[in-house]
Structure 1
Amino acid sequence: MERKHEMAKKNQYELIENSVIDDGAFLLEPYDDWKENIAFWIAQYLSQKCDEQSRRFVTEDNIPKITSIKEAILNSKDIEAIGKYVNELGVLKFKAIKQYYNNIYPFYHYMLERKAYSIKNITTTLLANYFSNTEEKQKKDLAAGKIIKVDIPKNIKNIWELSYASKVNRLTVLLNFIKFIENSNIDKESENEVFLFDIERSKISKSIQKEKRVLSVLTPKDGFQKFFNAIELVQYKDEVRERNILMLKLLMYLGIRVSELVYLKKDDITIDKNIVKFNIIGKGNKQRLLYVTYSHIKKHMIKYEKIRTESPDGFYFTTNKGKQVNDRYINTIVHNTLVAAQIEVTKKSSVHMLRHSVASYLKHTLKMDNASISKWLGHEDIRTTMIYLHYTEQEIIDMAKSFKKIGN
């Protein structure tokens, strides 16, 4: 792999030299083959995203490898090859890039089917048709010869198989990608030398039909309390008992994502008198501080830290071999706790369900407003919890204190 990446590094500048017009600007369509043009822009876009991503969870040994893979991506003219490089980044704990690739790649296939063989064919209409496409319409268009058959890898879902939230996320990534091209291109055929896509998000958004669904949550009135009370009823081996209880209670008190829990580091935790401060690193490397009254979790922290195996990467929750606890295991202990609480287990009874449950508890039991909940959960998009405001550290501590000690 190292030799392959070194070859890519050697040829990289020859490839990009033919495309660069000005510092940071590239020919819109530098190649005759439109597939190579799409691959070129995806490579440039992913390269920028690599530079923006945090290397917090990357070991020092892997940084040169990531740099080498990034250069290989820049040198690639093939979108499939780029996907393989993106997977290699994931193995090195540099996973955020994959979400960008996985949201652009299916749209590339849609363009292939529609014979939209130019970047300039990316229009509001094309995007709206893509997001409103259905399995029935796809079959009709194929039978009528309006589209060509393109085999999509089995691990890639069709657009009609995605949830509403996943479609909105895909649209956001695609529009961000298009904006990147718009800000970085030189079009020799255009009078102003820059090709503008003139995409209207509002029209595309209307094509994404909202689904009627009921979120799986623990009812604020009694389900939340029943689950909390059952946390210590589950039978665990002595070496994992306090760790598992502490993980579940932090998920309940903090409402954090499972990824935020498993990537929590020992250095992220500070105890100040009767307050435990948690430095949470969320999506997009966004940082927020959350707090728990120390007495709520003190006995579990003390017992866990007495038997805790140190992690070479500094992770707080570890196995007895010092490895990072994975999210699949946490889903398992959530399932076991639901059973112990005699709460019905469904396909949606995952660890993420606890996050929705915390939001519901904050809203309906503690009567927090939407802005407070948004800050607490670390939502970036205003549409997620309607309002997003800034709070002082003391205001967030006050929120933590208002989160009464459940379970007693």
Structure 2
Amino acid sequence: MQQYKQEIELYFELKGTPESSRESYLRRIFAFINYMQNQYKCMENVTDSDIQQYILHLKKEKGLSAGTINCYISAVKFFHTCIIGKEWNPLKIPRMKRIRKFPVIPPKQDVLAILNKAANLKHKAILALLYGSGLRVSEVAKLKICDICSKSMRIRIENAKHNTNRYTILSELALDVLRKYFRAYFSSYQMDDWLFPGQHKSEHINVKSIKNTMIKLRNQLQIKQNISAHTLRHCFATHALEDGVDPVFIQQMLGHKNLQTTMTYLHMTSKSLMGIKSPLDTGNSNPK
């Protein structure tokens, strides 16, 4: 297994694969190797049928979702083709069809209630950036002081998903919270310091800590259980659409590679706020 790990890490280094992708690929590849070794299979002799059985194992025994299984398939395909050097047959090893589920989008007043409930300035600043700028949880965690520009009212996000860089807007209200947080938490600093340090100043805040904070606030307010820290990013996109912001601009701020991904938020907007009326309510129709 160590031999495979060295080959995989060399490939990642040559390609410049982001750290987050490296970790997820390695974890899923090693899970696949462990499964095959438990079946007494030599990796060089693994067949399409063996891979099919592994996918069935993930589906029926592990109970994983289609999206998660597809991530495993991507990792196994990479290992099978790039490391072992064997052909991949997509006709025999298809990706699973995903059933699209739209996230719950709470009304704006519920989002503001969550932000107002956060008494800790650090937590309030983080949540304000998640909702006010549409950032991913991992992106907020990895922000540095120099990434915030109050003069241009924008935030720089480096080494984001797909190893991309972008800018997004900085909310005036979020900036106000950030300034209060900064005065309370920073007596001295360097511009490349973490904006939200963890337990040790040399480390940024843990992503799980942000998620747990959101869960705690959500439960205190007795808001729906399926609302998470990532929901605030969905709210940013949906509420921006409702405010009439061009989807192309939202795509740029969210860092979506494909505009179609951004357009899915149209399904989550409140049609009444978009100025759309039912045909039952237009004209002179008056059902008796």
Instruction: Specify the code of the residue in structure 2 equivalent to 1:335.
Output: I
Q: Does 1:133 align with 2:17?
A: no
Instruction: Specify the code of the residue in structure 1 equivalent to 2:12.
Output: K
* Per-residue CA distance 1:364-407 (angstroms, 9 max, x = gap): 664654x6554433245x598288xxxxxxxxxxxxxxxxxxxx
CA change 1:103–1:363 in 2 (3 A) is farther
CA change 1:97–1:214 in 2 (3 A) is closer
- Matched with 2:26 is 101
Q: Does 1:286 align with 2:152?
A: no
- Secondary structure of the 2:93 match is helix
2:215 to 323, 335, 360: 335
2:6 to 36, 43, 68: 43
- Matched with 2:282 is none
CA change 1:203–1:254 in 2 (3 A) is farther
- Secondary structure of the 1:278 match is strand
Greater C-alpha Rg: 1
2:130–2:233 Cα contact (<8 Å) kept: yes
Paired with 1:330 and 1:178, the residues of 2 have a C-alpha distance of 36
- Matched with 2:89 is 200
2:104 to 210, 214, 217: 217
Paired with 1:261 and 1:291, the residues of 2 have a C-alpha distance of 13
Whose relative contact order is higher, 1 or 2, with alpha carbons under 8 Å and at least 6 apart? 2
CA change 1:320–1:204 in 2 (3 A) is closer
* Per-residue CA distance 1:133-183 (angstroms, 9 max, x = gap): 3676xxxxxxxxxxxxxxxxxxxxx6x33222221112222222333236x
2:156–2:168 Cα contact (<8 Å) kept: yes
Q: Could you tell me how far 1:100 is from its partner in structure 2?
A: 2.0
- Matched with 1:299 is 176
Equivalent pairs, count: 260
Paired with 2:183 and 2:110, the residues of 1 have a C-alpha distance of 29
Paired with 1:135 and 1:279, the residues of 2 have a C-alpha distance of 36
1:227–1:338 Cα contact (<8 Å) kept: no
1:253 to 132, 141, 156: 132
Instruction: Specify the code of the residue in structure 1 equivalent to 2:55.
Output: F
- Matched with 1:268 is 147
- Matched with 1:63 is none
Q: Could you tell me how far 1:299 is from its partner in structure 2?
A: 2.0
Q: Could you tell me how far 1:129 is from its partner in structure 2?
A: 3.2
2:168–2:254 Cα contact (<8 Å) kept: no
Normalised by the length of structure 2, the TM-score is 0.72
CA change 1:277–1:261 in 2 (3 A) is closer
- Matched with 1:376 is 253
- Matched with 1:392 is none
- Matched with 2:261 is 385
* Per-residue CA distance 1:297-346 (angstroms, 9 max, x = gap): 232122222122356771011369746322233223323432455423x2
- Secondary structure of the 1:267 match is helix
Q: Could you tell me how far 1:251 is from its partner in structure 2?
A: 0.2
Q: Could you tell me how far 1:95 is from its partner in structure 2?
A: 6.3
Q: Does 1:112 align with 2:14?
A: no
* Per-residue CA distance 1:22-81 (angstroms, 9 max, x = gap): xxxxxxxxxxxxxxxx652332112332455589xxxxxxxxxxxxxxxxxxxxxxxxxx
2:150–2:175 Cα contact (<8 Å) kept: no
- Matched with 1:351 is 229
Q: Could you tell me how far 1:113 is from its partner in structure 2?
A: 4.3
Paired with 1:167 and 1:383, the residues of 2 have a C-alpha distance of 25
* Root mean square deviation, CA, Å: 3.5
Structure 1 unaligned spans of 5+: 1-37, 56-93, 137-157, 183-194, 388-408
- Secondary structure of the 2:214 match is helix
1:230–1:340 Cα contact (<8 Å) kept: no
1:123–1:198 Cα contact (<8 Å) kept: no
Paired with 2:68 and 2:168, the residues of 1 have a C-alpha distance of 27
CA change 1:42–1:340 in 2 (3 A) is closer
Structure 2 unaligned spans of 5+: 264-288
1:253–1:292 Cα contact (<8 Å) kept: yes
- Secondary structure of the 2:10 match is helix
Paired with 1:108 and 1:320, the residues of 2 have a C-alpha distance of 35
1:160-239 pair list within 5 angstroms: 160-181=62-83, 197-201=86-90, 203-206=92-95, 208=96, 210=98, 214-219=101-106, 222=107, 224-234=108-118, 236=119
Moved more, 282-291 or 302-311: 302-311
